[in-house]
Structures are given as structure tokens and as C-alpha cells.
Structure 1
Amino acid sequence: MHSTGVGPIGMGDSQAVAGQLGQGRVVIFADSNGFTAMIFNNDNGSQSIAGFTDPSSQWQQMVLNTLHWLTKVI
């Protein structure tokens, strides 16, 4: 429990919650960045990559782990 007594303990950029609901599992994401591939054109002519295909992130592994967890039998 969070120190305020409300909700779970999270770290900084927490963007999802997961848990069991009845006989199943549920995951709720507060941000779609991990499921989208984005390319931004910067003012200086360069491009920035964000989201699922960003090589500096671990979104792909997080999505795979989430789907694996959701498909496990309780």
C-alpha cells in the first residue's frame, strides 16, 4: 500500500496496473506509447523514435511479458 494509504506502491513513471479479477486477469495501461511506433521530425531535420520500436526502451519485452502473464491459467 502507498504511504498515503491509497493505492499500490509505484515508482515514478508507473503507467499500468495489473491484477486478478474473479476467475481472470486484467491489465490497464494509462499510456499507449508502448503499443505504437512513432517517428518525430525535429526542427533541426533529424528524427526521433519513440514507443514500441525505440531501441533504448524495453516496450517489446514488456508487451510480451504482459501477454504471457494474461494467458496463464490461474
Structure 2
Amino acid sequence: MNDDDPINEAEEALRARLKALQQEHADLDASIEALGHMPVPDQLMIARMKRKKLTLRDEIVKIEGRILPDIIA
């Protein structure tokens, strides 16, 4: 295979998207943690961030499934 293979390009794009989503997920996690330590935490903001984090987790799992499909033994 050569480097211009559309399958490799698609997988590389998926991996880049996965890395970006994982970073965003980690950033949200840190933000939620920091907000939780505030004297008066903004519970609405924390709830919104947790929902966004769950949405990101779902998308991460989907992309991981496309990159590494399950192999039934």
C-alpha cells in the first residue's frame, strides 16, 4: 500500500478526531473537578459539562469501534 491510500487517510483522520475528542474530554473532566472545588459550585454548569462529557465519551467509543472493530473469536 502507498501513503495515499484512502483507507489509511480515513483512519488517520479518525485517529486525529479521536485524539481531539479525548483531549476535550480530559479538559472537561479537569474543569468539572475545578468547579466542584469552588466555594459555591455552579451546579447547572457542572451538569451541562457532565452531559457534554458523556456525549464526547459516546463519540469516542464509536470512533474507537471504527478504528478497532471487534473480532469475534
Q: Shared fold by TM > 0.5? A: no
Largest Rg, 1 or 2? 2
Where relative contact order (Cα < 8 A, 6+ residues apart) is larger, the structure is: 2
Structure 1 or 2: more helix by fraction = 2
TM superposition score category, shorter chain reference: 0.3 to 0.5
With normalisation by structure 2, the TM-score equals 0.44
Structure 1 or 2: more strand by fraction = 1
